[in-house]
Structure formats: structure tokens, C-alpha cells
Structure 1
Amino acid sequence: MDFDYTPKVKDLQKRLNTFMDQHIYPNEDAFHNEVEANRAKGNPWVPTKIMEELKDKARAAGLWNLFLPQSERGAGLTNLEYAPLCEIMGRSHIAPEAFNCSAPDTGNMETIERYGNDAQRNEWLMPLLEGKIRSAFAMTEPAVASSDATNIEARIERKGDEYVINGRKWWTSGAPDPRCKILIFMGKTDPDNPSRHNQQSMVLVPMDTPGVTRVRALSVFGYDHAPHGHGEVDFKDVRVPVSNILLGEGRGFEIAQGRLGPGRIHHCMRLIGLAERALELMCRRAIKRVAFHKPIADQGVTRERIAEARIMIDQARFLTLNAAWKMDTAGNKVAKQEIAMIKVAAPNMALQVIDWAMQVHGGAGISDDFPLAAAYAQARTLRYADGPDEVHRNAIAKQELGRYLSK
């Protein structure tokens, strides 16, 4: 394993950091101010002008669609090459969208690229890659423990040349966004199949299809994340052509596993960048802030936390790079344990580092004067997204025990 970055990646790192310094960080407040101005007018779900301007600049700078490995439609980067770039974007929550590298669109684009047909790619993948529309992934349901995907109750029933869809989904990221034009919907086409993993299918559902209703936007620790957000969506006798199926009936669980692998590693990459920024804010604040007649940076407990934060961040980074390398060299399925490990490690690491950074900031740390409170809410959410800690720990333990059960 050689984790030294290639000249191509080093050049992209330099260009990304320059773009972040010149355009992303200086416009974070402008983005929030525009959202709040729209909220004051009665609708925070209006796409911001500042984001569209940033997207144009990123596209012009050649910093667009850096993800999508093993595809001529992407930047030609492997997961290992993309990792340090995704980390840089993760330092600001407005950055991923500016580079067209934000969730859930990246996962959905990879899904359509990998499992869709030519017609589906032309209709939906191309406008997503161009940043003209956004998308959502409708899997989680309010009535069941969706961490076990076989619990899903939503129905996809074939009637002639159409599928009729019924069910209710929530935590459908991006659904409240007016730019969301397409959903990937997971439901059961064959609930009586003896194999619980062959009961589900995935279909493409245009957001404007009759019967699709945005019920409400969901908040996370009080943040609604407008204009993107997370939504609860109702599907009542929704009809789509059978040609909207992805891969085939009964292949939904297979697609979910293929989709969530890259999605999980992207989340972890961004979390490392988020933790790096929290540590930077922590150090700057500790040096400037004085308590009990000396800078907080001179307090032993603060130095211990700074040291531990550095250790934890680097541990998570190396675990993530290892997972990315394994995905590139052996495939996502073979790398499932490494992916599960980082999905547990990265959010918990980020939460601890952000918590220490908040503590150094005092009361200001939990206010919106600094990005730490919002970062904490984001990191805490990612202990659920793409599978909760408990599910991943269970999978890791089962694989580890399996090494000895056969002996």
C-alpha cells in the first residue's frame, strides 16, 4: 500500500485549497444570509444565487464531478485519489454542492451509472452531472426499523406496463429541494419471496409524478438544512413505466449494497475534513483566549485534547485511505469490513473533536457565530446515515468471528 498522492492529486489538492480560500470560506456567511433572507420572505427552500455562482466558478476552474471512479463521465480518479479531495470539500458544508460532489447526488449518480440503462443515463444521469437538477434516495421508512432494509414495507406492484407504488418514506435527503427532479425508490416487488434479500427492487420516480407528495421537511437538532434538507414523502398509487426499474426486479438489496459502499466512504472523507477544520478553530481559539491568567492553549487539558484530536483524525484518515485502496484493488464487496470500520470510526471521531473544539470556544461554541454547532449536528446525523453504528459493528464482529468458527 502506497498512500503517497500522485502528481495529479497533489495538483488538484492545491487548486481545491485555493478555490476554498478564495470562494468557499468567504461566502459561507453570504450563503446563510441568503437562506435566512428567503426564510424571512416565507420560503427558505429557494435555491441560492450564491451557490449557483460558486458552481459556475468551480466548473470553469475544472473542479467539477471529481468523484465517479471507473467511469469516463467522471474525473478519472480512483477512490484513493478522490479521498483527499473529498476531505478538503468536507471542511465546509457548502463546498460539496459547489463542486457537484454532494450527497445524495453522488451516490445516486453512481447508482444510475452502474445499474441504469442507456435511456435512464441519458434522461437522469446527464442533467445530474451537469448540475442542472438534484435527486433524492427514498429508502428509510418511519414505520419500521430501516437499519434492517428487509423490513421495508413500501410496495412496488406491476400492473401491465406500469409499476404502482405505495408507501411513505422519510429522511429522504434532498426531497424538499425544488431542484429535486428524480428519486430512487426502494420497495418490495415480491414480498412473498423466500429470500428476504430478493424481495426488494429499486425504481426511478420523477418527483412530479402524480401521487408523490412532499409531506414535510425534517429538522436535525433544529437545523432544517434549507434549501436542500431532508424530507418525509408520501407515495399514493404512483405510476411509473416498468422501464424505470433499475437492474431488474428483486435486485434492490444488491443495488443498495453497491450504492451505500461509496456513499459511506464519501461521508467519512468529508467528516475528516470537518474534524480538521474543528481542530484548526480549536487551536486558533486556544491561543487567543485567556483564562486564569494564561492562554487556554497553555492549559494541560487543552494540550492533551489537541494531541488526542490529531491522533484520532490521522487514525481515521489512514483507515479511510486503506478502505479506499481496498475498494480500488479488490472491489467494494471485498472491502465491506474496511468500509464498515470507517463508518463507525469517522463520525465518532468527528463528534469528539468537534465537542472539544466547542468546549474551547466556551458559550460561543454552541452558538451560530461559529460553524461548530452545525458541524456537531451534521456529524451526529452520520452515525445513522447509511447504516447505524450498531449494524456496522455487528457486521464487523460477524466477519471477525467467521475467521475462527470454521477452524
Structure 2
Amino acid sequence: MDLGMTERLRPLHARVAAMVRDEIMPLDAEFLAEVPKGDRWAYTDRQAEILEGLKATARDRGLWNLWLTDPARGPGLTTVEYAYLAEEMGKSHLAPEVFNCNAPDTGNMEVFARYGTPDMQARWLAPLLAGEIRSAYLMTEPDVASSDATNIAMSCVRDGDAYVLNGEKWWATGAGDPRCAVYIVMVHTGDADTPRHRRHSMIVVPADTPGIEKLRAMEVYGHDDAPHGHMHIRFTDVRVPAENLLLGEGRGFEIAQGRLGPGRIHHCMRAIGQAEAALALMCRRSLDRTAFGEPLARLGANYDIIAQSRMEIEQARLLCLKAAWMMDQGDARAAAPWIHQIKVVAPEMALKVTDAAVQMFGGAGVSQDTPLARQWAHLRTLRLADGPDAVHRRQVARAELRPYRDG
């Protein structure tokens, strides 16, 4: 099991890391400062200039769609190789989109590539791969405990050559973005006699379909994440062509697992990058600031906090690489316990390191003057996204107990 950087990855990693450090991170604050100017749900001219300029540079340098393990569409890196790149991207707000490696689009592109018809791939996958549109994934609902996805209740009823959708979804990440053109939606299609894991399906819904109403932007600790956003959406008699149903009725869980496995690893890879960025800020602050006649590093337990942060980052990185290696072996069932483990460990660790950095910065740490407050809120949310910690721990425990039960 080789978890180190391959020789082919090293130069690519150096180029990605340099672009993130020297060209993307310096523009993060300016990009975010544009949000309150004018319509929060539209990109200002300066935001578009920053984002599209950086994307064009990444494309020209061949640093594009790096997440694709299919060599016919991308560089054909393994998941382990991509892990090192995703970690660098996690250090910047803009970097994942600059390289067209951003959620939820990567997961949706996986769905279109694996399960979409040729027409879907031409209409939606091609412009997503080109970075010309954005997409959203609609699964969670406000009226059910969506951590148990068998509770998903959005009605999807066949009516002639169409399906009719009724219900509400929330935390639709990216649905507020004016470039968001398509939704992939988890819906309920079975009846009481259908096995629980065959009652759900996935359907492709153009974002401008009549009957779709954006009720509000959901706020994370008081912030709406405009202009990207996490929307609460109502569907009222929304008619979608029957051919938009992916694979057929009852295949929703099969598609969801194909989508969420890689996506969970990508989230964790980026979280490790965020932890590294927070630790770097913490170390600089601890040496640059003095109190009571001493650098902050020498006060209280700060040496221990810095050391513990480094050790926990290294531990989480190794677990993430192990999960990525398991994914690369091609057996999703065998990889699943490792993905569940890292989905708990990485966000929890990154949140802890970020919180320690906030403490080192004092009042500045919770202000807009550092990226730490925004990062803390994102990481706390990540402990819920793609399944809360408790659900992943439950799956880890079930896998651990299985051989004892079988015995």
C-alpha cells in the first residue's frame, strides 16, 4: 500500500500548490468583500473578473477537472494522488471552483458520467466539465429526519410521459447561484409494499422548470453564503419528462452511494487543507504577538496545542489516504467503512485545529479580518453534510461488530 506522492504527481502538485498560494488565496478576501455590493445573489463585475480569470488560467495550464479518475475525460489520477491536490485546494475559498473541482458539481458530474443518457451528458455534463454552468443536489427535506434517507418523502408520480414532483427540499447547496442550471433530486417513487431501499429514485430537473419556488436562503450561523447559497425550495406540480429519471424507479440509493462515496473523500481532503492553513496562521500569530512580556507561543498550553494540532493533522491525513487507497481498489463495499471513518475524523479534527487558531487570534479570530470564522462555520456544517457524525459512527460500529455477530 503506497500512500506517498507518485513521481507523476509531484510536478502537478507543485503547480497546484503554487497557484493556490500565490494567485488564488491573495484574491479570496477581495472576492468575498464584493458580496454585499448590489444584489447578493448575482456576481459583481469584479467577482466575475476574478473567478473567470483564474479559471481561464487554470484551464490554460492544464490544471482542470483534476478530480476525474477517468483518463478519457481528465488526467486519470488515482484517488490517492488527487487527495494531495484537494488538500491544497482546501486552503482557499475559491480554489476548488478555479480548478473545476468543487462540490456539489463533482458529485453531480459523477452521476451524469455514470448514469446519464447521452442527451443528459451533452446537455448537462459537457458544460459542467467546461465550468460554464453550476448544479445542485437536492436530497435533504425540512419535515423528515433526512439522515435516514429512507425517510425522503418528495412525491414523484408518473403521469403519462412525465413525472410530477411535489414537496420541499432544503440545504440545496449552490441552488442560489445564478449559474445553477440543473438539479439532481432524490424523490419517493415506491409504495408501502416496496422494500424500503427500493422506494426512491433520482431525477434530473432543469432549474427553470415551472413550479419551482425558492422560498429562502438557509443561513449558517447567520450567513447566507451568497451568491452560492443553500436554498429552501418548494416544488408544486413540477412536470419533468419521464426520461429524466436516472436508471429507472427504485435505483435512488444505488446512485446516491455512487455519488456520495467520492464526494465524502473530497470533502475530507479539503478539510485537511483547511486544518493546515489554520495551523500555519496559528504558528505565525503565536510568534508575532506578545503578551505579559512573552510571545504567545510560550504562554499557557500553546506549545502543547500546536504540537497536538500537528499530530492530529498527520493522523487524519493518513486515514484519509487509506480511505482513498481503498476506493482505488474498486470495491466500494470494502471502502465504505474507511470512508465513514474519515468523514467523522477529518472535519472534527479540522474544526478543533481551526478553533485553536481562533483562540490564538482572540477577537480577530472571530472577525472578518481572518478567514478563520468563515472556515469554522464551514467545518462545523461539514460534520452534518453528507451524513452527520452519529450516522457514520453507526456504520463504522456495524462493520466492526459484523464478524462477531457472524461468528
Query: Which position in structure 1 is the counterpart of 2:213?
Result: 213
Q: Amino acid of the residue matched to residue 204 of structure 1?
A: V
Following superposition, the deviation at residue 332 of structure 1 comes to 2.3
User: In the alignment, which residue of structure 2 is the partner of 1:76?
Assistant: 76
**What is the deviation of 1:20?**
1.3
Q: What are the residue-to-residue correspondences of 1:5-404 with 2, within 5 Å?
A: 5-37=5-37, 41-46=38-43, 48-49=47-48, 50-70=50-70, 72-299=72-299, 301-404=301-404
CA pair 81-372 structure 1, distance change in 2 beyond 3 A:
same
Q: Does the CA contact (< 8 Å) of 1:36 and 1:44 recur in 2?
A: no
State the alpha-carbon separation in 2 of the partners of residues 162 and 311 from structure 1.
55
Pick which of 186-195 and 132-141 moved more.
186-195
Deviation at 1:317, TM superposition (A): 0.4
Please tell me whether the aligned partners of residues 170 and 232 of structure 2 are also in contact (alpha carbons under 8 angstroms).
yes
Q: Tell me if structure 2 keeps the 8 A contact 1:167–1:236.
A: yes
Whether the 8 Å CA contact 2:200–2:252 is kept in 1: the answer is yes
Q: In 2, distance between residues paired with 1:140 and 1:387?
A: 10
CA contact (8 A) 1:201 1:246 kept: yes
**Aligned-pair CA distance for 1:21:** 2.4
Residues 44/182 of structure 1: CA separation in 2 closer, same or farther (3 Å cut)? closer
Q: 2: distance between equivalents of 1:2 and 1:54?
A: 33
Structure 1 residue 214: Cα displacement:
1.2
Cα deviation code 1:157-205 (max 9, x no counterpart)? 1111111111100000001111000000111111324310000000000
Task: Give the deviation of 1:300 after TM superposition.
Answer: 5.1
1:121–1:42 Cα change, 3 Å: closer
Q: Deviations over 1:27-53 (max 9, x none)?
A: 11220122232xxx2434326221111
| SS of aligned partner of 1:67 | coil
Task: Please tell me the residue identity of whatever aligns with 1:286.
Answer: S
CA distance in 2, matches of 1:251, 1:270: 30
Q: Alignment partner of 2:283: what SS?
A: helix
Q: Provide the rounded CA distance (Å) in 1 between the counterparts of 2:265 and 2:215.
A: 30
Q: CA deviation at 1:145?
A: 0.4
Confirm or deny: 8 A CA contact 2:25 2:93 kept in the other structure: no
Moved more, 266-275 or 186-195: 186-195
**TM-score normalised per structure 1:** 0.97
Q: For the residues of structure 2 that align with 1:193 and 1:173, how far apart are their CA atoms?
A: 33
Q: Compute the TM-score of the two structures, normalised by the length of structure 2.
A: 0.97
Q: Which amino acid aligns with 1:264?
A: R
Structure 1 distance, partners of 2:305, 2:205, is 48
Q: C-alpha distance in 1, partners of 2:131/2:292? A: 52
Which one-letter code corresponds to 2:130 in the other structure?
E
CA distance in 2 between counterparts of 1:218 and 1:196 reads: 30
Count of residues in correspondence between the two structures: 404
Is the CA contact 1:193–1:199 (under 8 Å) kept in the aligned structure 2?
no
Q: Say if 1:8 and 1:221 are closer, same or farther in 2 by CA, change over 3 A.
A: same
- Structure 2 contact 41–177 (Cα < 8 Å) conserved: no
Q: Which moved more, 1:215-224 or 1:87-96?
A: 215-224
Which stretch of structure 1 is more off in the superposition, 195-204 or 2-11?
A: 2-11
SS at 1:333's partner residue? helix
Distance 1:255 1:401 in 2: 27
Q: Work out the CA distance in 1 between the residues paired with 2:127 and 2:160.
A: 29
Per-residue deviation, 1:71:
5.1
C-alpha contact (below 8 Å) 1:221/1:377 kept by paired residues: yes
CA contact (8 A) 2:205 2:244 kept: yes
RMSD between aligned alpha carbons? 1.1
Q: Secondary structure at the match of 1:131?
A: coil
Q: Which moved more, 1:52-61 or 1:42-51?
A: 42-51
Q: CA deviation at 1:62?
A: 1.1
Rounded to whole Å, the distance in 2 between the matches of 1:380 and 1:212 is 29
Deviation track 1:276-298 (CA, whole Å, cap 9, x = no partner) reads: 00000000000011011110112
**In 1: Cα distance, 2:147 partner to 2:333 partner:** 19
Could you tell which deviates more after superposition, 7-16 or 314-323? 7-16
In the TM superposition, residue 242 of structure 1 has moved relative to its aligned partner by 1.0
Matched AA of 2:398: K
The percentage of aligned residue pairs carrying the same residue is 54
Q: Is the 8 A contact 1:45 1:176 kept in 2?
A: no
What SS class does the counterpart of residue 380 from structure 1 fall into? helix
Between stretches 133-142 and 1-10, larger displacement belongs to 1-10
Cα deviations by residue, 1:297-340 (Å, 9 ceiling, x for unpaired):
12351110011000110111000000000000142222000000
Q: What stretches of structure 1 of length at least 5 have no aligned partner?
A: none
Distance 1:4 1:42, change over 3 A: closer
Cα distance in 2 between the residues matched to 1:135 and 1:55: 17
Counterpart Cα distance in 2 of 1:10 and 1:193: 54
Paired AA for residue 187 in structure 2: G
